[in-house]
Chain A
Amino acid sequence: MYDVIVIGAGPAGVNAAIEADNLGYSVLIIDEQGSAGGQVWRNKSSSIIDAPKTETSIKGNALRDALMSSNVSVKYEARVWHIEKCDTIWNIHIENDVLTSKNLIIATGAYERIIPIPGWTLPGVIGLAGATALFKEHMMVPGHKTVVAGSGPLLFYVANEIERLGGTVEAIVSLNSRFDWLKSLLIMITQPILLWQGFKWVTAFYKKTIWQSAPIKFEGADHIELVKIKKVDDDWKPIGKEQILEADSVCYGQGLIPAIEASRLAGAEHHYDETLGGWVPTIDDMGRTSIEGLFVCGDNAGILGALAAPIRGKNAAQAINKNGVVYDIGKFERFGKAMTALSIPRAGLLNLIDTDTDVCRCEGVTRKEIEHEIITGAQSPNAIKSGTRCGMGPCGGRFCADAQAMINEHVTGKTREDIGLPTARPPLRPMPMDQITEELNYDDLPIPGVSPL
C-alpha cells in the first residue's frame, strides 16, 4: 500500500511524484512507456547511442535523473486497465496485479484531435503528435517530402524537427491566420525564450507556410501522394479554389484533447471547456477533483502544455494535504491557454468532414451514418454508439468521440455539455485476456450458485 500512486510519468506526473516524495509520502509512479518523460520529454530508444542534445532531451534527462535520485518507486511498461475506489483505498489494476494507495494522482496527458477528411486513414498520413514521438524516440522522419497541416504551434515544431533530422517540408498548411498568431504573440512575450524560438521557426518556414488553409482531401493509390488544400474563412470553412501539393507523407492534427478516460473511470465529475481543449475534470486550483483522494495534473486536466505541467504536478501533490502550498502557475497558464486557443475547433471545420468519410476508423462509420442515427432520434453518445458502432472499436472512441460530438452539435444545435459523454468503462486500453488473468485452476473457480431451474 502506497500513500500515493501517480499514473503517467510525463512532466506533470513525475513532478507530482517527486513533490509527494519530498513531503514524506510513499509514492509509486506507473507508466506504459519504458521510461519517464511522457510524450513531450519522451526518451530516446535505447538503440540510439548518441544524439545531439535538444531542449526536450535535456529537460527529459533532467526529469529522469531527478526521479532516479528520489525515493519514488517506479513501474514502467505497465498498463493500468482499471481503477476503482473501495472505501478509502484506490485499487489500481495493472496487467494481472493490483496496486493500492490512499491517494491517486492521474497525469495521463493528452491525445491529438484529428479532423477526419477524405483519405485521412491513408498510409503515410500520421498525427502531428504521433510524428513528434517518431522524432524523439527514433530520430526518424515520416518521409522525404512532408506536408505539415493543421493548427497550433505543433505545426512549426514538427516542421523544424523534420528538417533538423534531414527530411524536407513541402509546405505547412496552417488553419490559423497570421493574425491569429499575432494575437498570441502578446502573451508569448511572457516567455521570451519560447518567443525567440517560435520566431526562428516561423521565419524559417515563412515562405513554406500557407496561412488560413486546410487540406480537404488526401489522395493516393495505396499511400499518400497528393494533398488537396483550400483557403478557409474566419470560421475555418473551406472556400475558393483547390490547390494541389505533392507529398509522400503528411503530419496532420488540430491540437490536443485531454486524456480523461482514467479520471472518468475513477468517478470524477467532468465538464466541457473549449479553452482547455474539451472535456476536463472539474477541479480546484490545485487539482483536487470531486472525489476525495483523487487528484489530476498536466494536460489531462486541461491542455496548458509542458511549461505548466511541472507546477501543476507539484500542486497536485501539495493538494493531498488540506493546507498544502500552492505554486503560482499564472503566466504559464496564460501562455498555455493562448497556445490551446489556436486549436479551438471552429464551426466551419465540419465542412471538411465529407459525408462518406469514416469518422470512426476502427469500425468504419461515416459521417452520413452518424447523422442518420441522430436525425432518427439517437440523442446521446451512448445511443449513437449503440446504433452505429462509432467508438466501439479498440481505440475506445479516443479518435472519433470529438468529431462525433461536433456532428451532433451541428445536427441538434445542442451544446457539448448537453450532448455529454458515453459511459466510462474498463479496460482503459485493450488488454490480451491472458495478461490480465492467471491460468485457471478449474477446481478453484468460484461458483456463486447455479441459476434457478
Chain B
Amino acid sequence: MTNTYDIAIIGGGIMGCGAALRIKEGGMDPVVIDQGDIGQGASGVNAGTLSMQIKRVKLMPYAIKGHHEWQLMGEKVGFKKTGGLTLAFNDREAELLQERMTMKRDAGADITFVNPKKVEEIEPHLAKKIVAASFCPDDGYANSSLSGQYYRGRLTDENIDTIERFQVSEININSNGYEISSGDQVIKATRILIACGGLTKHVAAMLGEDLPIRARINTVSVTERAPRIMNGVIGHATGLLTMKQKDNGTVLIGGGWQGKGTPEEGRGAINPETLLPNLQLAQFAVPTLSKVRVVRSWTGFEANVPDFYPLAGRLGEKDNAYILGCVRGGYTIGPYISKLMGDLILGREPEMPLFDPNRVFNEDKLI
C-alpha cells in the first residue's frame, strides 16, 4: 500500500524544506520531492549574501526576520555577521544610494551613510575612488553550499520523507487529493505545495495554472584562497556587485549578472559577456583582486513575477494547493517566509501577511 501524505512539497530547497519542517512540527506528515538533490538548486549555488542593503523596502520586515533565522542556524550554515558596505563611484550612483538607502533605513534596516575616510577604515583594500557609501552592521553571509547538508540533516532528524531525483512529469487531481508522477512512480498526498524555484511555472502549469513567472539566471564566481583583502560584504549602489571573502580566503563574487539557459534545460551556463564585466567591476572596487585566480563561475535560477514580489499562498481556486516562490532576496527571507507558509497550510494565522499568487501583477520595471 502506498502511503498518502498530508502534503507533497515539490522542491527541496530552503523554501520547501523550511515549510516541511514547520508543517511537521504542526502535526502533519509531509514529503519533500526534488528533481535533483536537496538544497542543490538556487538554495545551494547562490552567493549567500545576507544583506539588508539589497533587500526590497516592502520585504524588509521579512528580511530582518529571515536574517534572525540564519543567525540561529549559525555555524552549521556558515553564518557570519560581518557588516557590509554599499559603494557609489559617481554622482549618479551616490544619488541613487542616498534615495534607496534612506527608504530602506526607514523600513527598519540599520543603515548609515559613511564618508570615504570611514570606508577606508572598514575596508582598507577598496579603491580610493568612492564618492559615497552606506554601511549596515547586520550584513553578512552564510555558506549556500551547506544548504543541502543542513536541510538534509534537519529533515532526517524530524523523520520527514524525502524523495530525491524525482522529476515530476504529471500531477493528477482526484477526490482524495493529488497524485504526483515521475514515470511509473506515483506519490499521493492530500495537499500540494509548489516551491521549486525556477521550475515553479513549469510545475504550476501541470495543475493548469499559467503564472507570469520568468527566470533570471544569476552568475556567481569564486576565487582561490587569497590573503585577507576584505572584511565584510561589499556591494554596489546599482546592486550589480556583491562580494565577500570567506574565512578560508576564497572570495565570492556575484551581483546578478545574467547567464544563459532555462530551468527546463538544465543548470544554465555563464555568459562571458556578462561574467567579464562582473569581474571587471569587482577588480575596480578591490584592485588587489586582479592577481587572484578565479577557480569557478556558475549560474543559478531565480524566479520572478512582473512586480518582483513573492508568490506565497493558495494557488488559484484549488483546494489544498499552495505555491511559494519568486521571493526577491529568497535566500535571506526563505527560512522565515517558509514558516509563514507552513502556518497557512496548518490553518494558523501567519505572523505577517503572505503574498496572494492570484493578484493582478503590475509591471515593476527595472529602472
Contact = CB atoms under 8 A, between A and B. Distances in A.
A373 B37 CA distance: 13
Contacts of A392: 145, 222, 295-296
A382 B147 CA distance: 12
Among A93, A387, A445, A447, residue most surrounded by chain B Cβ atoms (within 10 Å): A387
Given A82-B270, A423-B267, A450-B367, A386 B146 contact: yes
Contact of B367 (A376, A383, A449): A449
A453 B57 contact: yes
B279 A436 contact: yes
A329 interface: no
Given A386-B149, A438-B280, A451 B366 contact: yes
Given A93-B272, A433-B291, A440-B280, 18 more contacts: A378-B152, A385-B145, A392-B145, A392-B222, A392-B296, A394-B224, A423-B267, A425-B297, A430-B224, A432-B290, A433-B293, A433-B294, A437-B279, A439-B280, A440-B284, A450-B238, A450-B239, A450-B366
Interface in B273-307: 276-277, 279-284, 289-298
A426 B364 contact: no
A444 to B, nearest CB: 9
B201 interface: no
**3 closest residue pairs by CB, A with B:** A449-B366, A451-B239, A430-B293
Nearest to B273: A446
B160 to A, nearest CB: 12
B292 A426 contact: no
B103 interface: yes
A256 B12 CA distance: 38
Contacts of A439: 280
Given A394-B293, A425-B296, A433-B289, A380 B36 contact: yes
Given A433-B290, A449-B367, A451-B256, A427 B296 contact: yes
Interface in A357-390: 373, 376-380, 382-383, 385-387, 389
B118 interface: no
Contact of B294 (A373, A430, A452): A430
B164 interface: yes
Interface of A: 82, 84, 91, 93, 98, 373, 376-380, 382-383, 385-387, 389, 392-394, 396, 423, 425-427, 430-434, 436-440, 442, 445-453
Contacts of A445: 277, 280-281
A376 B156 CA distance: 9
B100 A379 contact: no
Given A387-B149, A436-B294, A448 B258 contact: yes
B152 A376 contact: yes
Contacts of B90: 442
A433 B297 CA distance: 12
A178 B276 CA distance: 55
Contacts of A447: 238, 240
Given A82-B270, A438-B280, A451-B239, A379 B293 contact: no
B40 A452 contact: no
B177 to A, nearest CB: 27
Interface size class on chain B is 35 or more
B153 A376 contact: yes
Interface string B292-332: 11111110000000001000000000000000000010000
Contacts of B296: 392, 396, 425-427
Interface string B131-147: 00000000000000111
B258 A426 contact: no
Given A379-B164, A451-B239, A430 B40 contact: no
Nearest to B90: A442
Interface string B147-159: 1110011001000
Contact of B40 (A382, A396, A427, A453): A382
Contacts of B294: 427, 430-433, 436
A436 B152 CA distance: 38
A447 B240 CA distance: 8
Contact of B56 (A383, A432, A452): A452
Contacts of A430: 224, 293-295
B274 to A, nearest CB: 8
Nearest to B153: A376
Contacts of B284: 440, 442
B291 A434 contact: yes
Nearest to A426: B297
Interface in B141-195: 145-149, 152-153, 156, 162, 164-165
B72 interface: no
Contacts of A436: 276, 279, 294
B283 A434 contact: yes
B211 interface: no
A91 B39 CA distance: 32
B59 to A, nearest CB: 10
A445 B147 CA distance: 33
B355 interface: no
Contacts of A387: 145-146, 148-149
A439 B38 CA distance: 40
Contact of A452 (B223, B283, B297, B308): B308
A387 B137 CA distance: 28
B113 interface: no
Contacts of A446: 277
Contacts of B293: 394, 430-433
Nearest to A395: B295
Given A450-B238, A452-B366, A425 B298 contact: yes
A382 B298 CA distance: 13
B11 to A, nearest CB: 16
Contacts of B267: 423
A405 to B, nearest CB: 16
B328 A452 contact: yes
B96 interface: yes
Contacts of A396: 295-296
A288 to B, nearest CB: 22
Given A376-B152, A386-B44, A396-B296, A434 B239 contact: no
A442 B89 contact: yes
Contact of B37 (A98, A380, A389, A450): A380
Contacts of B38: 377, 383
B54 interface: yes
B37 A378 contact: yes
Given A82-B270, A377-B156, A448-B366, A383 B291 contact: no
A425 B259 CA distance: 12
B122 interface: no
B283 A379 contact: no
A432 B272 contact: no
A198 B39 CA distance: 52
A427 B276 CA distance: 12
30 contacts: A82-B270, A84-B272, A93-B272, A98-B272, A376-B149, A376-B153, A378-B148, A378-B152, A382-B37, A387-B145, A393-B224, A394-B293, A394-B295, A396-B295, A423-B267, A425-B298, A426-B297, A427-B296, A427-B297, A430-B224, A432-B293, A433-B279, A433-B290, A436-B294, A440-B284, A447-B238, A450-B366, A452-B367, A453-B56, A453-B367
